[in-house]
Amino acid sequence: MKLYEMTAHQLHDLLARKEITSRELTESVLKRIEEWEGRIHAYLTLTPEMALEQAAAADLRIQKGEAGPLTGIPLALKDVICTRGLRTTCGSHILDNFIPPYDATVTEKLRDAGAVFVGKTNMDEFAMGSSTENSAFGPSRNPWDTQRIPGGSSGGSAAAVAADECIASLGSDTGGSIRQPAACCGVVGMKPTYGRVSRYGLVAFASSLDQIGPFSKDVRDTALVLNAISGHEPRDSTSVDLPVPDYTRALVGDVRRMVLGVPRETSGQGIDPQVTKSVGEAIEVLKKLGAKTVEVSLPHSAYALAVYYIIAPCEASSNLARYDGVKYGFRAKGAQDLLDMYQETRGQGFGAEVKRRIMLGTYALSAGYYDAYYLKASRVRTLIRRDFEKAFEKCDAIVLPTAPTPAFKIGEKVDDPLQMYLSDIFTIPCNLAGLPGLSLPCGFSREGLPIGLQILGNLFQEEKVLRVAHAFEKNTDHHLRKPKL
Amino acid sequence: MEYEPVIGLEVHAQLLTRSKIFCGCSTLFGAEANTHTCPVCTGLPGSLPVLNQKVVEFTVRAALATQCRIAPYSQFARKNYFYPDLPKGYQISQYELPLSTDGHVEIQVEGQKKRIGLIRIHMEEDAGKLLHDLSSDRGASSYVDFNRTGVPLIEIVSAPDLQSPEEAGAYLRKLRAILMFLDICDGNMEEGSFRCDANISLRPKGQKALGVKTELKNMNSFRNVQKALDYEIRRQTALLDQGDKVIQETRLWDAARGVTASMRGKEEAHDYRYFPDPDLVPLVIDPQWVEKIRAALPELPEQKKNRFIRDYGIPEYDAEILTSSKALANYYEECLNIYDQPKIISNWIMSELLRELKRDEREIEECPVPAGNLAEMLKMIDEGVISGKIAKSVFEEMYRTGKRAQEIVKEKGLVQVTDTSAIEKAIDQVLAANPGEVEAYRRGKGKLFGFFVGQVMKATQGKANPALVNELLKKKL
Amino acid sequence: MKISKEEVEHVALLARLKFSETEKERFTTQLNSILEYMDKLKEVDTSRVEPTFHAVTRKNVFREDQALPSSPQDLALSNAPDGDRGFFRVPKIIE
C-alpha cells in the first residue's frame, strides 16, 4: 500500500515507529497531487514548500517523542477557512487576492498539532451550492467519475481525500456541505454539533448553521481530527463551553442495545431506488450487529428545505455585505462614484448563485416581508427541532440516506436552482436543529458511484454517532474501495 | 394659525470603556489612522464579535439613573446598510429587544419643572470616521479611518415630549450631566463622544395628531441644537402657512449659513432589514447584578443637590447651579474641605469664577484656579489679610496666571493694612490735603465721607482695612 | 407572480448588485419559482411557536474590558484595494 493511500492513524504508527518520516509521507502526497490534480482540480492553492517545511518541523517533534496523532500528517483545508499569510478565496473572484492576516482557530489548532498543510481546496462560492460548480475557478471532479460532481460546497476537500491527494481534510457544513460531498466521493464526512468547533476564522455563510468538520478515509481518523479541532473558543460567542471527550473512545465496534431511529419520511419523489436499497441494506447490517430499530416521525422535515432556503440566504445577505471593495478583496476599476463602485464590485465579483441567494435573503428581510419569511421560517425551525427532540426520546441515533441520488453529472442541474437545492433534503434538517451528523459509504450504484449512509445524533452526542459509524465500517468494506484513477 | 412644536431627541453617547464593544482594541481618541483596529472591528472575513461586559454594566447604570425598566431578556440585532465607514455592511445594534425602556429625565425651564420620557436606551457599536478634505492625486476622494468602529455607544431615545428648543437644550444638558455623573461618558461634543439628532414636527395648537416630522443631523453643540430647531420651526411654519406640506426627510444643519438643508444623494429611504444577530447570544440580566450596580451608583445630580441643600444650608438656586456638573460639584466640595464656609464659597464661585469661565467659554475642568487656591484666598479675606475689594483683583490675577493668592499678594504688596497708626497717618495726610472738604463735612455735608474714604484708600493703594478706615475717619472728623 | 421585475430592481439596489437586462429577467423568473416553493410554510400553524434564532442556546457570553494590542497599521491595510497614507481611499462621498 502506498503511503498516500493510508489513514492518519496507520501513518501515525509508522511515524512513531520511525519506519517513515513526515518528509517522505508529504513527498508521497505531493507527488500524488502532481499526478492527479490536473484531472480532479480539488485544490485552489497548493503549498508544497510550506508543507515540506512543516514536515521537517514535524519530523523533529517525532524524533523527540513529542508527536501527536496528527503530527506530520498532510491535510488540506477548505478555502473558506482563514490561513494567515496564505490566500483564502472562498471560491470567489471577490476574494481572489485576499490574504488573511490571521489564522482561523482550527488552523491554529492543527498547526499546534504539528499537521502539514498541502493546500486550500476548491468549493462552491461562499459555500453556496451542492456540486462545486459554483466555484469561480471551475468545478472539482468526482474521482469515481470525473464527468460527475464531487458534491458541494466542500467538493474539493472531499475529492482530495477520495483521490488520496491528502490524508484528511477540513470542510464546512451549513446545509450538508460536508456530508453530501462525503457521500458523493465515498469518504467519511462529519458535521459536529453547532458550537462544538469554533467558527472564528471560518468565513461566514449562514452564521446560525455553519460548522467546520473533517473529511477522512475512516471513522477513526474522523475521531482524531475532531479531537484536534473541537473545544471552547472565547473569540466565538456561539462556541460552547463543554469539555472535549476523547472521541476515539467511542470506537468500541459494538452497537448492541443501541436503538436506531428510522424516519418515516425518507421515501418519496426524487429518491433514487439504489439509494433506498443501499441504505436499507446498511440498516440491516446494523440490526445484525445488535442494534434495534424503531420508526420515528419527523413530520416537519417536509418544510426543512423552505426554512433553510429562507434563513440561510437571509443571514448570508447580511454576512456578504462586507464585500464592498473598500477594505479588502476585489474592487472594480473605473468606478464613477461610491454607488457605482459598490455595484460594479459586487456585480463583477460575485457569481450567479451567490447573487441569487443575496437577492432572496435581502428580499425576505425587507420591509413588509420579515414576518412572512424570516420570522415564519424561524418558527417552523423550532418545530423541526422539537421533532428531533421527540425522536431522540425513543432512539440513540437516527439513520437515513445522506443524499437522494448518487453524484450527478457536471452541468446537469446548474440551470435549475430549485432542483439543485433538493440535493440537500436529507442533510438540511440537522443543521437547522444544530445536531451532529456523519456520512460514510454504505454501498455503490450500478455505475460504481458511492452511496452514503447518514447518522444523526442528539446535541453533543458525537460519541454515539461515531460508535454507530465505526461499528458499521468495521463490519463492511465499502470504505476500503478506492476510485480507479 | 398657531403651531406647537413636537420634538424628540436621539442621543448617542460613547461609553468610557477601555476597549471596544466587541473586540479588545483600545477606545482612546486621537490615535493615528487605522492603528486601533483588528479583524473584528474591520469586519475581516471570518471574524466574530464578543460582548464587552463593561458596556452592559454602564448601560444598566444609565438605565437605573433614568428610572428605565431593564429588560430581563435582551438581544442584539443587525442594522443593514452600505457605507464606507461601516466595515461589515451592518451595524450591530439593538432593535426589538433593547436593554432598557420607559424611563424619564426631569428638566427645569424658566422655573418650570417638566418630566421628559425616555423611550429606550440600547447598546450599539460606533462607525468609523470619514475624511473628505485630504488632498488627493487620484480624483475626488474620501478617506476612511476605522479606529472608531466598534467604540461602544448607548443610544438614548426621548419621547416626543419636548415642546421648545429651550426644553431641548435643558434636556440635553441634564442628560449629559447624568452620564458624566455616572462616569460612563465624558460628554465631549466636539470630540463626538456625545451626539444629538433631533426629530421635529409641528401641529396646530391643541391638535393631538402629530404632523410630518423631519430629522435633523449635524448639530455639534447645545447652541447649535437650539438654533437648528429654531430655524426648522420657522421653516416648517412658513411651509404650512402657505398651505404646503412638510416632506418627511433628513436635513443637515449648516452652522455657517444658519439653515437646515435636505440631504442630497440619498438614493433611497433606508430599509435596514433588522434581524437578530446570530453571532451574539441573548442577554439575560440577573436582577442581583442590577442591584449590585444600583448600590454602587455614584451620587446623581438630584441627590447631590438635595444633600448640598441639607448639609450645607445653601439655597436651592445655588445648589442647582453647583450640581449642574460633577466637576463643579467636586470643585465646590474641595473648597469646603479647606475653608468651611458654604455660602461664601458658593457666592464667590457663582459670581466671580463662573463669570470668568463663561467669558472664556471654558468648562470647570479647564479652570486655571485650582479649588485649593480659591479656598485659600477666601480664607485670607476672612483672616483680614486682604480686603474683599482687593481680593477681586487678586482673583483675576490668580485666574490669569494660575498663581496662588499668597504669591500675588506678596509680589504686589497687597497685604491689607490693619495697622491703626499707619491708617491714622494716611487719614491725617488726606485731611491735611483737603481742608476745604473737611470744613464742608464738619458743616454738614455728610456725603463727603465717601470722598475721604476714597482718598484714604487711594493713599494706601486700596490696602487699608475699610472697617478700620471708617472707624478712625469718623473719630478724626 | 410573487415578485415583479421592478421589485427585483429595488432589491438589487438594496443589495448593491448590478444586473444586465437578461440577468434581471432570469433572476425574476428563478426568484419567483423559489418564493412560490416557500408558500409551503403557510401550511404550518406557528401561532403559538417561539422562533429559533440560535441552534444551541447559550446566553450571557462576555469578555473583560481589557485593551489588547491592535493590528499594526500596515497589516490593517495589507489587503486594501486602495490604501493611501494610512487610510482606505474611496471615491468621494457627497453629502
Question: Tell me, what CATH number does A110's domain have?
Answer: 3.90.1300.10
pLDDT of residue C95: 59
* A153 counts as catalytic: yes
Provide the percentage of residues in chain B whose pLDDT is more than 70.
99
Contact (CB, 8 A) for A101 and B47: no
What is the average per-residue pLDDT within B29-54?
97
Question: Which three-class secondary structure state does DSSP give residue C72?
Answer: coil
State how far residue C10 is from chain B, nearest Cα, in angstroms: 9
* A239 counts as catalytic: no
What CA–CA distance (Å, rounded) separates A418 from A305?
10
pLDDT of residue B264: 57
C85 touching chain B per CB within 8 A? yes
Question: Which tens digits make up the pLDDT trace of C29-49?
Answer: 999 999 999 999 999 999 999
Domain ranges of chain C: 5-40
What CA–CA distance (Å, rounded) separates A44 from B4?
66
Among B368, B390, B412, which residue terminates a domain?
Answer: B412
B212 touching chain A per CB within 8 A? no
| Subunits with 3+ C-beta pairs closer than 8 A to B | A, C
What is the average per-residue pLDDT within A261-279?
89
CA angle, C14 as apex, C12 and C16 as ends, to 5°? 65
What CA–CA distance (Å, rounded) separates B70 from B285?
8
What CA–CA distance (Å, rounded) separates A223 from A13?
16
Residue B135 has pLDDT above 80, yes or no: no
Instruction: Read off the pLDDT band of A118 (50, 70, 90).
Output: very high
Residue range(s) defining the domain that contains residue A132: 3-258
Nearest chain C residue to A375 by CA distance is: C51
Class of domain C5-40: mainly alpha
Per the structure, the count of domains in chain B is 3
Across the interface, do C18 and A344 touch by the CB < 8 Å criterion? yes
Across the interface, do B53 and C73 touch by the CB < 8 Å criterion? no
Spatial CB neighbours of A335, under 8 Å, sequence gap ≥ 6? A341, A344, A345, C91
Question: Which tens digits make up the pLDDT trace of A201-223?
Answer: 999 999 999 999 999 999 999 99
Nearest to A135 by CA among A127, A146, A143: A127
Residue B372 has pLDDT above 80, yes or no: yes
Please check whether residues B153 and B175 belong to one and the same domain. Answer: yes
- The average confidence (pLDDT) of chain A is 96
Residue B136's Cβ-count burial label (10 Å; 0-12, 13-18, 19+) is: middle
Spatial CB neighbours of C43, under 8 Å, sequence gap ≥ 6? A303
What is the average per-residue pLDDT within B161-170?
96
A101, A339, A366: residue with CB nearest B267:
A339
Name the least confident of B140-149, B412-421, C58-67.
B412-421
What is the average per-residue pLDDT within A272-300?
96
Residue A266 has pLDDT above 80, yes or no: no
What is the average per-residue pLDDT within A259-269?
85
Residue B430 has pLDDT above 90, yes or no: no
Residue range(s) defining the domain that contains residue B453: 420-476
Other beta carbons within 10 Å of A266 = 20
Question: Which three-class secondary structure state does DSSP give residue B129?
Answer: strand
What does B332-355 look like in DSSP terms, one character per residue? Answer: HHHHHHHS--HHHHHHHIIIIIHH
Please check whether residues B321 and B286 belong to one and the same domain. Answer: no
Among B368, B394, B412, which residue terminates a domain?
Answer: B412
Q: Is residue A164 part of a domain?
A: yes
Cis peptide before A153 (omega within 30 of 0): yes
Instruction: Read off the pLDDT band of C52 (50, 70, 90).
Output: very high
Contact (CB, 8 A) for A379 and A306: no
**Chain B residues near residue C88 by CB distance under 8 angstroms:** 34, 84, 143-144, 146
More confident residue, A108 or B388: A108
Please check whether residues B71 and B191 belong to one and the same domain. Answer: yes
Residue of C68, C87, C92 to mutate, testing the B interface (most B Cβ within 10 Å of its Cβ) = C87
Among B356, B384, B412, which residue terminates a domain?
Answer: B412
Helices (H), B258-368: 287-295, 301-312, 316-322, 326-338, 342-348, 354-359
Instruction: Read off the pLDDT band of B472 (50, 70, 90).
Output: confident
Please check whether residues B316 and B253 belong to one and the same domain. Answer: no
Q: Which stretch of DSSP H or E encloses residue A304?
A: helix A304-319
Please check whether residues B277 and B381 belong to one and the same domain. Answer: no
Please check whether residues B260 and B303 belong to one and the same domain. Answer: no
C76 touching chain B per CB within 8 A? yes
Catalytic residue among A22, A28, A130, A153: A153
Please check whether residues B55 and B202 belong to one and the same domain. Answer: yes
Residue A300 has pLDDT above 80, yes or no: yes
Residue A351's Cβ-count burial label (10 Å; 0-12, 13-18, 19+) is: buried
**Chain C residues near residue B151 by CB distance under 8 angstroms:** none
Nearest to A305 by CA among A155, A438, A154, A431: A431
Please check whether residues B119 and B176 belong to one and the same domain. Answer: yes
pLDDT of residue B267: 47
Question: Which tens digits make up the pLDDT trace of B74-103?
Answer: 999 999 999 999 999 999 999 999 999 999
Instruction: Read off the pLDDT band of B269 (50, 70, 90).
Output: low
What is the average per-residue pLDDT within B355-367?
88
Between the CA of residue B280 and those of A249, B74, B125, B141, B474, what are the distances in Å? 33, 11, 13, 35, 84
Provide the whole-model pTM.
0.91
**Chain A residues near residue C34 by CB distance under 8 angstroms:** 309, 360, 417-418
State how far residue C73 is from chain B, nearest Cα, in angstroms: 5
| Subunits with 3+ C-beta pairs closer than 8 A to A | B, C
**Chain C residues near residue B27 by CB distance under 8 angstroms:** 67
Across the interface, do B17 and C65 touch by the CB < 8 Å criterion? yes
What is the average per-residue pLDDT within C66-75?
96
Please check whether residues B371 and B403 belong to one and the same domain. Answer: yes
Instruction: Read off the pLDDT band of B265 (50, 70, 90).
Output: very low
Nearest to B331 by CA among B363, B296, B297: B363
Per the structure, the count of domains in chain A is 1
- The average confidence (pLDDT) of chain B is 91
| Phi, psi (deg, nearest 5) at residue A164 | 60, 30
Nearest to A465 by CA among A214, A120, A203: A214
What is the average per-residue pLDDT within B138-143?
87
B454: domain CATH number is 1.10.10.410
Residue B169 has pLDDT above 80, yes or no: yes
Residue B305 has pLDDT above 80, yes or no: yes
Retrieve residue B424's grid coordinates. Answer: 491714622
Highest mean pLDDT among A170-174, B131-135, B137-141, C1-5 belongs to A170-174
